């Protein structure tokens, strides 16, 4: 059995902070914002983030600097919808305190990354009800595949 966090109040406070309106009201930076900051077209920004080979080093650097200045993060959901390709694998992890399961997850993550996939993990904390909820959540994200790491 794993150790429980010694400061659940601290963790609860952190979750409240993350879920606060301060974060919810923040408008995400778009490729259009990056283009405006860099003084280039949105199409060029898209080419840079798709790592197209026909972009000059100077333009690429300008776009990447603007993206960094603005805190731009690519919208993976929008990318998946546009390309009709999902590059995310869901992992339902039954017991995050079990070193064997964690090592399986780590190896799976490395393999996914090498293949160009992201991993979305859901820890069920050994609860069947939580597992059902997380299963629905992961499937709702339209993952390309779902892996269950469980003793059963």
Which CATH number is 98's domain given? 3.40.50.2300
Residue 48 within any structural domain of the chain: yes
- Please tell me whether residues 132 and 88 are part of one structural domain: yes
Residue 54 within any structural domain of the chain: yes
Determine the Cα–Cα distance for residues 60 and 83; give it in Å rounded to an integer. 22
- Please tell me whether residues 143 and 94 are part of one structural domain: yes
In which domain, by residue range, is 35 found? 9-74
Q: CATH code at 19?
A: 1.10.260.40
Sequence-distant contacts of 26-35: CB under 8 A, at least 24 apart: 28/73, 28/75, 29/67, 29/70, 29/71, 29/72, 29/73, 30/72, 31/72, 33/70, 33/72, 34/63, 34/66, 34/67, 34/70, 34/72, 35/63, 35/66
- Please tell me whether residues 112 and 134 are part of one structural domain: yes
Residue 89 within any structural domain of the chain: yes
> Total domain count for the chain?
2
- The backbone torsions φ and ψ at residue 97, rounded to the nearest 5 degrees and listed phi first, read -95, -10
- Please tell me whether residues 43 and 87 are part of one structural domain: no
- Please tell me whether residues 132 and 109 are part of one structural domain: yes
Determine the Cα–Cα distance for residues 122 and 94; give it in Å rounded to an integer. 8
Per-residue pLDDT tens, the chain, 152 aa: give them.
444 555 666 666 666 665 665 555 567 889 999 999 999 999 999 999 888 899 999 999 999 999 999 989 877 666 666 667 778 899 888 888 888 888 988 999 999 999 988 898 888 877 888 888 888 888 888 888 888 887 76
């Amino acid at each position: 059995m794993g150790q429980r966090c010694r400061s659940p109040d601290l963790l609860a406070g952190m979750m409240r902070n993350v879920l606060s309106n301060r974060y919810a009201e923040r408008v995400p930076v778009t490729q259009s914002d990056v283009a405006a900051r860099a003084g280039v077209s949105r199409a060029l920004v898209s080419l840079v983030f798709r790592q197209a080979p026909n972009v000059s080093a100077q333009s690429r650097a300008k776009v990447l600097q603007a993206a960094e200045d603005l805190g731009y993060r690519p919208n993976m959901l929008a990318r998946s919808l546009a390309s009709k390709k999902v590059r995310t694998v869901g992992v339902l992890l039954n017991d995050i305190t079990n070193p064997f399961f964690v090592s399986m997850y780590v190896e799976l993550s490395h393999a996914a990354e090498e293949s160009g996939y992201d991993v979305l993990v859901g820890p069920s904390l050994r609860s069947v009800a939580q597992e059902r909820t997380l299963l629905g959540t992961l499937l709702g994200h339209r993952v390309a595949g779902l892996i269950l790491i469980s003793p059963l």
